[in-house]
Amino acid sequence: MNIKNKTYKSIVSGIGASLPQEVVTNKDLSMRMDTSEEWIEERTGIKERRIASKGETTSSLGTDAAQIAIDNSGLKNSDIDLIILATATPDNTFPASATLIQSSLGIERGYAYDMQAVCSGFVFAVEAADNAIKAGNIKNALVIGSETFSRILDWDDRATCVLFGDGAGAMVLSASSEDTNRGVLSNHLHSDGRYKDLLYVDGGPSTTNNVGYLRMDGKGVFKHAVQNLSSAIIEAIEYNNIAIEDIDWFVPHQANIRILEAVSKKVGLSRDKVIITVDKHANTSAASIPLALYDAVQKDKIKKGDLVLLEAMGGGFSWGSTLIRW
């Protein structure tokens, strides 16, 4: 079918999520290392996180989330033309874990690849899928964020290992040529590699031959996160010629409640419009936004027609926003 001669919008048609079985609370961690329930919750807002067990991988969690999203969209697995998996913790260096998910879903056509923009990966992947739809190249895209950060944490470094968790979320974007105000309205992406030393993994195939561990200058990242997330919100509202009050829901990358509070204060957004799941998921990198979206849809917060702003910031640095009329 030639769909090239029409103008298309990317409509959210399905959403899904999947979490590992094992819940690890702050109390659990305080019994394993020199930390306390109070320190973790006061500094970050995190109360618990899920940790993948042996049989759970980025691709298995991603497959489960994807299947829920496809079922939710009413499509068949074979309707999916493109799979983009945002992850910094692939099952293997290659092939792309997106192809493992493709095959687990029984999909034998279309194309699949991984997107590496760490915590901003989901927003970067939405932009790529949206462009493929708008170009008329594909009809249905599966955008997944799935991570097993527990496997790249240094469990002897209390300053980082208490902050992260594992999980996956997925969204189906479908082409629509109808005259509707729904769909992805804007994407704004940024990277600045000068800050690579503030948040990185100290290994990799081309340097150390191993996977390495996550390293972070928490205070340095915090400062830039507040600045970059605030400017990403202002950029999106100015581009779309709307006021901050017009946005129904903010769905930020879930790294730290204090970052979200500082950003809310800086740009003047109401706290009750911010979706917060960091308390139960911790920082799940590229999975945090779709996990939060799924949670908000399940709780009947985000509804069809709502204006929803996604925003993320992470290693690189990379950051950006996506505005969606749900």
219 counts as binding ligand UT7 under rule CB under 6 A: yes
Q: How many Cβ atoms are within 10 Å of 2's Cβ, its own excluded?
A: 6
Helix/strand/coil percentages in the chain, nearest 5: 40, 25, 35
Residue of 47, 134, 151, 158 interacting with ligand UT7 (CB under 6 A): 158
Interactions with ligand UT7, residue window 8-37 (CB under 6 A): 35
Cα separation, 194 vs 171, in Å, equals 32
Beta strands in 57-132 (DSSP E): 82-86, 111-115
Give strand pairing partners of 18: 168
Q: How many Cβ atoms are within 10 Å of 135's Cβ, its own excluded?
A: 11
Residues whose CB falls within 8 Å of the CB of residue 2, separated by 6 or more in sequence, listed in order: none
Interactions with ligand UT7, residue window 291-320 (CB under 6 A): 314
47 counts as binding ligand UT7 under rule CB under 6 A: no
Q: Of 6-14, 39-47, 71-79, 204-212, which segment contacts ligand UT7 by CB under 6 A?
A: 39-47
Torsional class of 123: left (φ above 0), alpha (ψ -120 to 50), beta (otherwise): alpha
Cα separation, 7 vs 260, in Å, equals 36
> What is the three-class DSSP state of 11?
strand
Cα separation, 47 vs 280, in Å, equals 6
Active site residue 253: yes
Residue of 126, 259, 274, 310 interacting with ligand UT7 (CB under 6 A): 259
Query: Which residue of the set 119, 140, 187, 281 is catalytic?
Result: 119
Q: Which is nearer to ligand UT7, 221 or 324 (CB)?
A: 221
Nearest distance, CB of residue 38 and ligand UT7, angstroms: 9
Residue of 10, 13, 44, 174 interacting with ligand UT7 (CB under 6 A): 44
Query: Which residue of the set 26, 140, 187, 283 is catalytic?
Result: 283
221 counts as binding ligand UT7 under rule CB under 6 A: yes
Q: Which is nearer to ligand UT7, 44 or 63 (CB)?
A: 44
> Which residues are identified as catalytic?
119, 253, 283
Positions in the binding site for ligand UT7 (CB under 6 A): 35, 39-40, 43-44, 119, 158-159, 162-163, 199, 218-219, 221-222, 225, 255-256, 259, 283, 314
